[in-house]
């Protein structure tokens, strides 16, 4: 049977989805739109195979954004290529039923078999909220079950009831009577919901004091901003410091594997392909898995805790000064992990201009794919020192690079507002601030796991094929027999690099860097692997040496800094550009993004290089 | 913007003008003269979906940093952040 999860944002829909399906999840897109389609699978106690789709959160079926349209069309069975759900599970946060019960009354009119899931029932009980579920079920005319997504047996009642509904004839859908509600009907449904809640729910005399206490500090005009800055600072120190041991372990494993291949296989093309193309190429990207997981860990923790909405609240007017909507904060923060989900997350912004501005600047946020490049160069050129007694200099440089990205994003946004979208009226900022909740560790773990899997799949497909291509470019044609010098100097890669090199020479880039920038278009982190391949092959027998050590001997500090500056802005990601094209509905904004980022990158590198040379770092 | 309905004895005000700590009850919604980028009907619908219905208890819990905007409002037991501009559509007593 097919189930669909519907609920308001913050209803705990996703943690219920994770509890039901564990890691049996499939993430794809709905056809024609870039709304994420999350489907999972499980088996009911009676052995029934069930699939469940986690629909985008919504307060009503009016469908005012592409996400909300998906939810509406899916429930009504109108979504292209989707069969209507056999059972709709309307998920509610038990501590906060008002808006969900109203949504449920609206869902009832669609005629689909429906069940209300009172999720996070344990939290409600702890806070002194009591719900008369049988009476509520009677008043609503739909089955009501309680659930505790985090506890092992917490979904037992839900599963049992699902089986019961599946075996009964009552599961047959009724006629769809739903129409978009007028304001009068909205009022009437909310009144009805309030009436049912008054009759079935008793709230504690004292509301949740923890949320109030935390908010008194976290939303305080001064302390709140300081905390936000601290959270971001800790996040980036963690990305650099905590991941280090794991990264060294991974890096050592790959070089051991490379050595093993080197010793086992006879010298020749196959040995070179496996060691230099495959192992050192893919290895140098997979090494960054720990950092990507840490970034997502932070983002998911903050989201689950309820802090993300607070950050949007704090940033709304500040970002408004730069022409951004408070809701843009979450997409932009997600862009620190990857611009693609970030750009996709801009769908929560329903004003087209606000959305467009956010999309244009999202790629300036330092995505995790830049981390490999930054890390490589920083560890090769910046000494591992403490400054002011407690700050790691490398971490500080990293923080500076992030700050430069954020600063330039705000600047660009301001310019867009000023020059391009001048007749601009700010769109409303209306956002629920959910009560704080302790993050659900299992749910977080599944979230991080899903992201890690996506990254590895990318490393296994796109990056692997780019690695093979760059190895091919760097190995063929082979040098004539008996000539001196590194083999790569005779290859296709060298030819391309040398053609483009004059364009990049003013930035201090040598032709090897230019060669690495080309496959870097597929994904930024590929540039690291490409540098590895280019230099490893050039280095012959010392292939397994650390790329960083090699770079430190080959590049000047000015070149390294110039490349860092380049990567703050570089439009170096074909997938991001493709997503921008899809989300804005045309090549125009994609071309604009590419052009403005290229110009910024070139200018920044030019300035950085020349200043560094003038200061004697050339 | 600050027009006060004189027909009723209780002093009414727009929620968008309320200070931190204010608490009251929603009297009615009036999105017509509000300077929002949304059409009046759409603004009213969204406010209703977030639970701003007549008779609901509201309290202004927090104010933003710049211009004391946006504001965090407790409606019954839900907390919602809105800008003052949009909160002007909510008339409270």
Kindly give the pairing relationship between strand A391-392 and strand A430-432.
unpaired
Task: Give residue A81's region: left, alpha or beta (phi > 0; psi -120 to 50).
Answer: left
Minimum distance, in Å, between the CA of residue A52 and any CA atom of chain B? 26
A495, pLDDT greater than 80:
yes
Structure token digits, residue A152: 């092992």
CB A129 within 8 A of CB A201: yes
- A219, closest residue in chain B (CA to CA): B62
Would you call B70 and A317 a contact, using CB atoms and an 8 Å cutoff? Answer: yes
Would you call A426 and B67 a contact, using CB atoms and an 8 Å cutoff? Answer: no
* Residue A423: predicted pLDDT: 57
Tell me the chain B residues in contact with residue A64 when contact means C-beta distances shorter than 8 Å. 42
**Across-strand partners of A115?**
A89
A489, pLDDT greater than 80:
no
Of residues A618 and B21, which shows the higher confidence score? B21
In chain A, how many domains are there? 1
**CA nearest neighbour of A100 among A68, A59, A137, A70:** A59
Q: Return d(Cα A418, Cα A427) in angstroms, integer.
A: 16
Question: Which residue among B43, B61, B78 places its CB closest to the CB of A96?
Answer: B78
A64, pLDDT greater than 50:
yes
A89, pLDDT greater than 70:
yes
Provide the pLDDT confidence category of residue A538 given band limits of 50, 70 and 90. low
CB B57 within 8 A of CB B75: yes
Question: Which residue among B50, B56, B69 places its CB closest to the CB of A430?
Answer: B50
pLDDT, tens only, A217-260: 999 888 998 998 898 888 777 776 777 788 788 878 888 888 88
| CA-CA-CA-CA dihedral for A207, A210, A212, A218, to nearest 10 | -160
* Residue B52: predicted pLDDT: 94
Q: What is the CATH number of the domain that holds A138?
A: 3.40.50.300
* Residue A511: predicted pLDDT: 82
Q: Which of A332-341, A361-370, A557-566 has the highest mean pLDDT?
A: A557-566
B3, pLDDT greater than 50:
no
Q: How many CA atoms lie within 13 A of A43 on its CB side?
A: 3
Structure token digits, residue A187: 């009022």
Q: What angle do CA B58, B63, B68 make, to 5 degrees?
A: 125
Chain B within 8 Å of A179 (Cβ-Cβ)? no
Chain A within 8 Å of B45 (Cβ-Cβ)? yes
Q: How many CA atoms lie within 13 A of A194 on its CB side?
A: 20
Structure token digits, residue A285: 């990207």
CB A214 within 8 A of CB B62: no
* Residue A199: predicted pLDDT: 94
A62, pLDDT greater than 90:
no
Range of the domain at A17: 2-202
* Residue B26: predicted pLDDT: 95
Of residues A154 and A427, which shows the higher confidence score? A154
Structure token digits, residue A309: 């909405």
Tell me the chain A residues in contact with residue B27 when contact means C-beta distances shorter than 8 Å. none
Count the helices and strands in chain B (H runs, E runs): 2, 6
* Residue B35: predicted pLDDT: 82
Name which of A154-168, A200-214, A437-451, A484-498 the model is least confident about.
A484-498
Chain B within 8 Å of A57 (Cβ-Cβ)? no
* Residue A540: predicted pLDDT: 45
Would you call B66 and A321 a contact, using CB atoms and an 8 Å cutoff? Answer: yes
Of residues B14 and A65, which shows the higher confidence score? B14
Question: Which residue among A186, A207, A425 places its CB closest to the CB of B48?
Answer: A186
Of residues B28 and A375, which shows the higher confidence score? B28
* Residue A8: predicted pLDDT: 92
* Residue A543: predicted pLDDT: 40
Would you call A326 and B70 a contact, using CB atoms and an 8 Å cutoff? Answer: yes
**CA nearest neighbour of A100 among A8, A6, A4, A5:** A8
Helix (H, G, I), strand (E, B) or coil at A320: helix
Chain A within 8 Å of B43 (Cβ-Cβ)? yes
* Residue A601: predicted pLDDT: 93
A372 assigned to some structural domain: no
CATH topology of domain B13-92: SH3 type barrels. (2.30.30)
Would you call B66 and A215 a contact, using CB atoms and an 8 Å cutoff? Answer: no
pLDDT, tens only, A184-209: 999 999 999 999 999 999 887 766 67
A398 assigned to some structural domain: no
**Across-strand partners of A365?**
none
Provide the pLDDT confidence category of residue A522 given band limits of 50, 70 and 90. low
Question: Which residue among A314, A428, A432 places its CB closest to the CB of B79?
Answer: A432
Prediction pTM value: 0.78
Tell me the chain A residues in contact with residue B64 when contact means C-beta distances shorter than 8 Å. 221, 313-314, 316-317
Cα-based distances in Å from A47 to A10, A152, A468, A600: 31, 18, 46, 59
Q: How many CB atoms sit inside 10 A of residue A587's CB?
A: 12
Residue with tokens 């509406």: A72
Q: Return d(Cα A93, Cα A150) in angstroms, integer.
A: 13
| CA-CA-CA-CA dihedral for A252, A258, A259, A261, to nearest 10 | 150
* Residue A516: predicted pLDDT: 80
Would you call A428 and B82 a contact, using CB atoms and an 8 Å cutoff? Answer: yes
Name which of A27-36, A98-107, A504-513 the model is least confident about.
A27-36
Provide the pLDDT confidence category of residue A523 given band limits of 50, 70 and 90. low
Question: What's the mean per-residue pLDDT of chain A?
Answer: 82
Of residues B1 and A528, which shows the higher confidence score? A528
Chain B within 8 Å of A434 (Cβ-Cβ)? yes
Q: How many CA atoms lie within 13 A of A520 on its CB side?
A: 27
For chain A positions 494-553, those within 8 Å of chain B (CB to CB) are none
Chain A within 8 Å of B23 (Cβ-Cβ)? no
pLDDT, tens only, A400-453: 998 899 889 988 988 887 776 655 555 678 889 988 988 888 888 988 888 788
> Sheet containing A49-54: which strands, arranged edge to edge?
A25-29, A36-43, A49-54, A2-7, A87-93, A114-119, A144-146
Tell me the chain B residues in contact with residue A194 when contact means C-beta distances shorter than 8 Å. 53, 56, 76
Most B CBs within 10 A among A105, A183, A191, hence the mutation to make, goes to: A183
**CA nearest neighbour of A63 among A14, A106, A5:** A106
Chain B within 8 Å of A326 (Cβ-Cβ)? yes
Q: What was the ipTM of the complex prediction?
A: 0.88
Minimum distance, in Å, between the CA of residue A60 and any CA atom of chain B? 7
Q: List the domain boundaries for chain B.
A: 13-92
Chain A within 8 Å of B54 (Cβ-Cβ)? yes
Name which of A48-52, A408-412, A457-461, B78-82 the model is least confident about.
A457-461
Chain A within 8 Å of B85 (Cβ-Cβ)? yes
* Residue A545: predicted pLDDT: 44
A154, pLDDT greater than 90:
no
């Amino acid at each position: 049977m097919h189930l669909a999860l519907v609920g308001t944002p913050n209803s705990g829909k996703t943690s219920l989805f994770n509890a039901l399906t564990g890691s049996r999840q499939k993430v794809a897109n709905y056809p024609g739109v870039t709304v994420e389609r999350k489907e999972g699978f499980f088996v009911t106690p009676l052995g029934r195979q069930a699939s469940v789709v986690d629909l985008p959160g919504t307060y009503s079926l009016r469908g005012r954004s592409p996400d909300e349209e998906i939810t509406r069309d899916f429930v009504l069975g109108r979504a292209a290529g989707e069969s209507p759900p056999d059972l709709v599970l309307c998920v509610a946060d038990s501590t906060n039923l008002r808006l969900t019960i109203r949504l449920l009354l609206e869902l009832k009119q669609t005629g689909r078999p429906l069940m209300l899931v009172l999720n996070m029932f344990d939290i409600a009980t702890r806070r002194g909220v009591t719900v008369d579920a049988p009476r509520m079920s009677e008043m609503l005319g739909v089955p009501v079950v309680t659930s505790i997504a985090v506890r092992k047996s917490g979904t037992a009642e839900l599963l049992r009831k699902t089986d019961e509904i599946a075996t009964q004839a009552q599961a047959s859908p009724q006629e769809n009577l739903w129409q978009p509600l007028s304001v009068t009907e909205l009022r009437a449904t909310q009144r009805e919901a309030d009436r049912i809640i008054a009759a079935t729910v008793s709230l504690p005399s004292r509301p949740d004091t923890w949320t109030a206490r935390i908010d008194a500090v976290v939303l305080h005009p001064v302390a709140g901003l300081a905390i936000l800055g601290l959270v971001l600072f800790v996040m980036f120190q963690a990305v650099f410091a905590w991941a280090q041991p794991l990264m060294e372990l991974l890096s050592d494993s790959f070089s051991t594997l490379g050595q093993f291949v080197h010793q086992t296989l006879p010298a020749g093309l196959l040995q070179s392909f496996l060691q230099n193309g495959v192992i050192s190429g893919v290895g140098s990207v997979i090494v960054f898995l720990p950092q990507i997981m840490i970034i997502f860990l932070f983002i998911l923790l903050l989201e689950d805790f309820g802090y993300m909405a607070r950050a949007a609240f704090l940033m709304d007017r500040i970002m408004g000064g730069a022409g951004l909507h408070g809701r843009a904060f979450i997409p932009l923060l997600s862009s620190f992990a990857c611009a693609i989900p970030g750009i996709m997350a801009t769908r929560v912004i329903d004003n087209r201009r606000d959305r467009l501005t956010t999309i244009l600047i999202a790629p300036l946020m330092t995505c995790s794919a830049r981390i490999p490049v930054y890390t490589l160069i920083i560890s090769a050129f910046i000494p591992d020192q403490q400054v002011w007694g407690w700050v790691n200099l490398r971490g500080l440089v990293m923080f500076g690079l992030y700050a430069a990205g954020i600063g330039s994003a705000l600047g660009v946004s301001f310019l867009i507002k000023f020059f391009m979208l001048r007749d601009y009226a700010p769109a409303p900022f209306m956002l629920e601030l959910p009560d704080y909740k302790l993050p659900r560790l299992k749910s977080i773990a599944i979230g991080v796991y899903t992201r890690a899997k996506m990254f590895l799949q990318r490393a296994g497909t796109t990056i692997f094929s780019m690695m093979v291509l760059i190895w091919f470019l760097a190995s063929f044609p082979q040098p004539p027999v008996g000539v001196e010098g590194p083999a790569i100097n005779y290859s296709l890669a060298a030819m391309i690099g040398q053609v483009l090199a004059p364009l990049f020479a003013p930035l201090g880039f040598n032709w090897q860097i230019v060669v690495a920038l080309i496959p870097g278009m597929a994904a930024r982190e590929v540039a690291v692997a490409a540098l590895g391949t280019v230099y490893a092959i050039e280095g012959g027998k010392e292939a397994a040496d650390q790329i960083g050590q090699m770079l430190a001997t080959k590049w000047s500090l000015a070149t390294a800094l110039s490349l860092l500056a380049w990567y703050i802005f570089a439009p170096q990601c074909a997938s991001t550009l493709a997503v921008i094209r899809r989300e804005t509905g045309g090549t125009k904004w994609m071309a604009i993004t590419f052009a403005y980022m290229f110009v910024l990158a070139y200018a920044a590198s030019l300035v950085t290089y020349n200043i560094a040379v003038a200061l004697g770092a050339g | 913007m600050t027009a006060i309905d004189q027909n009723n004895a209780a002093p009414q005000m727009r929620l968008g003008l309320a200070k931190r700590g204010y608490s009251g009850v929603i009297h009615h919604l009036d999105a017509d003269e509000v300077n929002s980028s949304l059409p009046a009907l759409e603004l009213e619908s969204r406010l209703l979906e977030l639970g701003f219905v007549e008779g609901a208890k509201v309290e202004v819990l927090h104010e933003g940093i710049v211009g004391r905007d946006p504001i965090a409002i407790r409606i019954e037991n839900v907390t919602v952040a809105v800008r003052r501009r949009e909160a002007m559509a909510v008339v409270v007593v």
